[in-house]
A and B are shown apart, each in its own frame.
Chain A
Amino acid sequence: MSQTFDPAILIAQIKDKLGIGDDKVYAVMGEFAEPEDLVKAGRAIRDMGYTKIDAMTPFPVHGIDEAIGVPYSKIGWIAICGALAGITTAQVLIYYVGAIDYPLIIGGKPLFDFTYSIPPTFELAVLFTAITTFLCTWGLSGLPRLYHPSMNYRNAHRASDDRFLLVVEADDPKFDAQKTAQDMRSVGANDVEVVEG
């Protein structure tokens, strides 16, 4: 390898060798230097009728979700299910252990009582919520993954540094490589590129 190692290129080469390589276009991507410009451009692109829009930013840019139409996250509801699972597990465990499998009278206390089961129940509810939330954050984002076609964009590495990228995906019904690239330039994007996937 002459240059630095690039997993994206390597994977593309392997795909080509195996004959499953596709010349499919992933998206048209462009970059902005300021978050406000990204939000404005995102809104403009959406107003042009595009629907499959994404943005890549080094920090959460507020306003971009509404501008390009990212749906609200449902993690909260899943987390509540996690909490309920934790509460149930703890109550069942403490009841089974104390009242069924190993009943032992200690200090004249009842074999099971809601009051003394509160601390471990609370802790398990928190634990289950945290684990559910953690797994869902990545699961719903389609992670973990080692490769994504957006890595082929020349400035992709700057999305985690100081640039704000706008993406119009090729799945979009209105997508046309030439026309979309033009639209991207018209809303002020720099380094507009048709990215292959």
Chain B
Amino acid sequence: MSAVVQDPQLMVVNPPLVQGATDLHDLTDQISSVVEAKVYETPLKYWITLAFTGSIVLLLGAMLTYLVNTGIGVWGNNRPIGWAWDITNFVFWIGIGHAGTLISAILFLFRQKWRTSINRSAEAMTLFAVMCAGIFPLFHTGRPWRAFYWLFPIPNTDLNIWQNFRSPLIWDVFAVSTYFTVSLLFWFTGLVPDLATLRDRATSKIRQVVFGILSLGWRGSARHWRHYEQAYLILAGISTPLVLSVHSVVSFDFATSVIPGWHTTIFPPYFVAGAIFSGFACVMTLLLIARWTLNLQNLITIKHLDNMNKIILVTGSVVGYAYCTEFFIAWYSGDIYERFTFLNRAFGPYWWAAWSMYTCNVFIPQLYWFRKMRTNLWVMFIISITTNIGMWFERFVIIATSLTRDFLPSSWGYFSPTWVDICTFIGTIGLFLTLFLLFARFLPMIAMSEVKGVASIEKHSFAGQVEGSPSHR
């Protein structure tokens, strides 16, 4: 590929998405070298981090073993707050996953080319987040090895009962397990051409065999690509309503009940916006770390991060609007229980959680109105973390404050997490980070074939502008 003279004025307004790499081979090298590095070539800080997060996974294992051995009484759930940290964490993790599908599917359908540098890691994040989410309901059953008979309609002879399909809880099982499967297939489909690249570059026998099998014999034939592109479009097309349905179904768990604070029709869109908000923040945290440790500045540019910050601002404001609507409807409904629940939410025993949530989710992201803030790495790193703290609090606030003071003052109560609650949640964070670190090191973190396609189109569109035919990407 020859060097292209780019119009400097256009470069400022619309900088190229792939920088630094002079040709396609450079791109392949840049991305594959991370995967192909020898153990000692990977920075020591990577292995130390992995050892640290790996030890947190051991903590998770210990907590779950303790839970199964003793019973779920080791968690702090009790009347009146029967759903506490476990479902908070479940909704939190599912929400994190949503940004991955949004980036890979919805932005694909909207032809947003900037997604190519980040979609692979966002999809991986989805998978890992859903795994972490699944742990909580599974272990909340107390007997996870029996849970498959309770959760899925599998004929069984010991209980001789079926699930109740009128309950949103079973819808949730279908939604989340479908979500995981479809995300996995989508992710793997996108990975196959890149696995073929790794196979073709492999020098050791083990790598040749492993990548030879994983890449399914992909050779980039025009016929392969034709089927592949069609399939990718279909998978993106069905993932889009799927991702919107998953958090809607999760919100049905609450919305179909008659508890004041839960029984609202605004929940499905409100939950979906919140999920995208928290998910983008989480992608941002992970990408900033990966960009820094693995030196991916050329592929994950400020333009990518700026675009993501704009989405965080939009979804954060949608969430803020939903908070206001909730309060307005509580007042407008004239229902005294509804009014009490919302006053109690802001000024009751959990006021500190509610105000942490408003601050982190609504007030802080407003900084992103300013371009300076959207392009400052430190600012976006801090906001990505406060957003996730805020979104965790959102779920906790919805769940705990709606249950803490119900219709009878004699049964009011206050929830405090036990040390097992806290360690289990920390353990899932460790599991998530460990899986992500392993992925970043052992699989191509950036979709090579897609980035090459974009780089090639960009090169030619810029070349066209220089020749005098202005065109927009």
Contacts and interface: CB of A to CB of B under 8 A. Distances in A.
A144 B162 CA distance: 38
A85 interface: no
Nearest to B203: A4
B113 to A, nearest CB: 13
Interface in B151-198: 153, 161-166, 168, 170-171, 174-175, 178, 181-182, 185-186, 188-189, 193, 196-197
Nearest to B182: A130
B417 interface: no
Interface in B194-235: 196-197, 199-201, 203, 205, 208, 212-213, 216-231, 234-235
Given A4-B203, A123-B245, A144-B217, A130 B222 contact: no
A88 to B, nearest CB: 15
* Chain A contact residues: helix, strand, loop or mixed: helix
Nearest to B242: A126
Contacts of A144: 213, 216-217
A60 B228 contact: yes
B241 interface: yes
B335 interface: no
B452 interface: yes
A64 B185 CA distance: 27
Contacts of A56: 219-222
Nearest to B196: A160
Interface stretch (B20-28, B122-130, B295-303, B349-357): B20-28
Contact of A7 (B208, B224, B456, B460): B208
A7 B215 CA distance: 15
Contacts of B235: 130, 133-134
Contacts of B241: 122, 126
Interface string A14-47: 0000000000000000000111100000000000
A137 B189 contact: yes
A143 B216 contact: yes
Contacts of A183: none
Contact of B227 (A104, A137, A148): A137
Contacts of A123: 171, 174-175, 178, 242, 245, 249
Contacts, number: 192
A148 B452 contact: no
Contact of B181 (A106, A107, A127, A146): A127
Nearest to B248: A119
Contacts of B144: none
A104 B178 contact: no
A143 B188 CA distance: 14
A55 interface: yes
A141 B182 contact: no
B458 interface: no
A134 B28 contact: no
A76 B231 CA distance: 8
Interface residues of A, number: 69
A190 B51 CA distance: 49
Contacts of A116: 165-166
Contact of A34 (B1, B242, B450): B1
A79 B234 contact: yes
B217 A73 contact: no
A124 B452 CA distance: 35
A65 B212 contact: no
A75 B234 contact: yes
* Chain B contact residues: helix, strand, loop or mixed: helix
Contacts of A159: 200, 219-220
Contacts of B212: 7, 146
A73 B185 contact: no
B230 A119 contact: no
A120 to B, nearest CB: 4
A75 B230 contact: yes
A122 B449 CA distance: 32
Contact of B223 (A134, A141, A157, A160): A141
Given A60-B228, A119-B171, A160-B200, A94 B165 contact: yes
Contact of B153 (A36, A59, A97, A119): A97
Contacts of A161: 24-25, 28, 197, 200-201
B43 interface: no
A148 B224 CA distance: 13
B231 A75 contact: yes
Chain B CB within 10 Å, residue with most, of A7, A35, A134? A134
Contacts of A60: 225-226, 228-229, 449, 453
Nearest to B212: A146
Given A59-B452, A160-B200, 20 more contacts: A56-B221, A58-B24, A65-B222, A68-B222, A70-B226, A93-B153, A98-B162, A116-B166, A119-B175, A119-B245, A123-B242, A130-B186, A131-B181, A134-B188, A138-B216, A143-B224, A146-B217, A148-B217, A159-B219, A162-B23
Shortest 10 CB-CB contacts between residues of A and residues of B: A162-B24, A144-B216, A157-B200, A145-B217, A137-B231, A119-B171, A73-B230, A59-B453, A60-B225, A123-B174
10 contacts: A5-B205, A55-B221, A58-B197, A60-B226, A98-B164, A120-B165, A120-B170, A124-B178, A143-B218, A161-B197
